[in-house]
Amino acid sequence: MADIFRGGICTTAYAKFRLNHPDWIFDSIFDYCKGGSFQLAVDVGCGSGQSSNQICCHFQSVVGMDISEDQIKAAKSKHENITFRVGKAEDLSFLEDETVDLVTVGASLHWFDIPKFFMETKRVLKPGGVLAVYSYVLPNADCPFVKTFFDEFITYLDSRTKQVWEHFKNLEFPFNDLKRLEYVHTVETSVDNFLGFLPSLSAWQTFVAQNPDAGTKLERKLKEFYFDDRSGELRNMKLFYDYFLILARK
């Protein structure tokens, strides 16, 4: 599994500015799980715990795990049925065979050693248990500068991220019962929140090292574009996230 999030480079931005995944993701997962038990869910690559907190209302127990100690330290929950732990996606040895009802992976599968992770998932899931993989492509916006910026930014992304752009269409999942869903999720957010989101992206440090003025230039253009002459304040941005969800049953 990649160690790109080891250390604190992205952790603060990740915890503060990464949005919760849309409700339709979890509604679709819970609907797909109907007929099975809702005892234990494991959220692999949980980051700072956003998805874990969205899952816990339907399961007796949730384990959120991530390779980054800093991400796990940042994970917070008001729910007593969630525990967080540091660990590799490819090593679920703390779980016994066929004890898990749901394994979720949000926006992180491409960093795993996928064959090894699938083997572990197949081992720990109960018969009829569910693997849910979901992610999104970098958002478009109601501002042309954002697309121009991301067109350059994506050239700095790790090659593994290309699988996300392809929605893992060429990836063979370990179970035959498979369902794919896609959805464009619209979010309104402030310019400052959008700018705060950027350092949470895995390629950000590489990008700014080679383009030190790019972030400042984008900020200036966005604030000019969204400035409202009447109010003297900045309007909110509209962001369009291309989401996909893959559901597989053992």
> Is 27 part of any domain?
yes
List CB contacts of 40: < 8 A, sequence separation 6 or more: 59, 60, 61, 62, 63, 99, 100, 101, 102
> Is 63 part of any domain?
yes
SS3 88: coil
Q: Which domain holds residue 30?
A: 11-249
| Pairing outcome for strands 82-86 and 227-228 | unpaired
> Is 155 part of any domain?
yes
Q: Provide the pLDDT for residue 8.
A: 40
pLDDT in tens, 97-113: 999 999 999 999 999 99
Phi/psi-derived region of residue 48, left when phi > 0, alpha when psi is between -120 and 50, beta in every other case? alpha
Q: Provide the pLDDT for residue 201.
A: 87
> Is 203 part of any domain?
yes
Stated pTM of the model:
0.90
Q: Please tell me the distance from the alpha carbon of residue 94 to that of residue 72, in angstroms, as a whole number.
A: 17
CATH of the domain at 63: 3.40.50.150
List CB contacts of 155: < 8 A, sequence separation 6 or more: none
Give the count of domains, the chain. Answer: 1
Check the CA dihedral 108-109-111-117 and report its sign. Answer: positive
pLDDT in tens, 175-232: 999 999 999 999 999 999 999 899 888 888 889 889 989 999 999 999 999 999 999 9
> Is 177 part of any domain?
yes
> Is 1 part of any domain?
no
pLDDT in tens, 18-65: 778 999 999 999 999 999 999 999 999 999 899 999 999 999 999 999
The DSSP bridge partners found for residue 183 are 243
> Is 174 part of any domain?
yes
Instruction: Please report where in the chains the tokens 């916006």 appear, as a residue.
Output: 141
